[in-house]
């Protein structure tokens, strides 16, 4: 885990191609859209659906999906509290680079701890971070359970499982709360797109 230190011999290089110039080329602003919620709450489904809609309108995007990231960048981490925090720290740093590249970075992570989400938000300017809470009753998440993870957690086969044996600290002031157990996918997509238009990240579609 990084302790935040770096070599005294490293110096940040200021590029001539800036974020502002990249945004001008893309004709939209860059931002981190951080989807948080329980496993099965629909974070990945929503993030990828929004990316598809944005891509159709020529926006430059990338989805950081929790499972996908753990196949590579974070393959060395487990699901202990410390490694969960390190997982989110790494994603935060990557997402920060992507918004500098002029990309709309969508992240789909349980990210159960408020302190970890705050750490990512503090890496960037306030306008660069949009927290979307995919709120869904635990019982609904368990009914969906497409990966069979809740059943394994209930049976004691998986330790440190959020919502069962590990806590989820819900956002108290998310930029957007979507009830993914009652709102349709299309309603959820539109709510996020409307917020992006209101924040002047994208033009009205």
Kindly name the residue from 30, 111, 166, 188 that is annotated as catalytic: 111
111 is catalytic: yes
Give yes or no for a contact between 16 and 162, defined as CB atoms under 8 angstroms apart.
Answer: no
Q: Which two tokens stand for residue 143?
A: 């009914």
The distance from CA 157 to its chain's CA centroid, rounded to whole angstroms, is 27
Q: How far apart are CA 151 and CA 157, in angstroms?
A: 9
Q: How far apart are CA 12 and CA 8, in angstroms?
A: 11
Q: How far apart are CA 122 and CA 184, in angstroms?
A: 32
Q: How far apart are CA 63 and CA 76, in angstroms?
A: 21
The string of DSSP letters for 77-88 reads: --SSHHHHHHHH
Side by side, the strands of the sheet bearing 31-36 are 61-65, 104-108, 31-36, 129-135, 176-179
Which sequence positions are flagged as catalytic?
A: 111
């Amino acid at each position: 885990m990084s302790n935040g230190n770096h070599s005294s011999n490293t110096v940040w290089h200021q590029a001539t191609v800036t974020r502002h110039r990249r945004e001008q080329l893309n004709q939209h602003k860059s931002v981190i859209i951080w989807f948080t919620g329980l496993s099965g709450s629909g974070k990945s489904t929503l993030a990828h659906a929004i990316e598809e809609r944005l891509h159709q309108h020529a926006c430059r995007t990338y989805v950081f999906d929790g499972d996908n990231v753990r196949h590579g960048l974070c393959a060395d981490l487990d699901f202990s509290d410390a490694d969960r925090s390190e997982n989110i720290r790494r994603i935060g740093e990557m997402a920060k680079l992507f918004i500098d590249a002029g990309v709309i970075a969508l992240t789909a992570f349980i990210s159960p701890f408020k302190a970890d989400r705050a750490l990512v938000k503090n890496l960037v300017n306030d306008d660069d971070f949009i927290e979307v809470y995919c709120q869904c009753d635990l019982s609904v998440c368990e009914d969906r359970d497409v990966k069979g993870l809740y059943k394994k957690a209930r049976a004691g086969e998986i330790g440190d499982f959020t919502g069962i044996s590990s806590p989820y600290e819900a956002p108290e002031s998310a930029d957007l709360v979507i009830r993914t157990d009652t709102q349709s996918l299309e309603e959820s997509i539109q709510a996020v797109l409307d917020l992006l238009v209101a924040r002047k990240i994208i033009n009205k579609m």
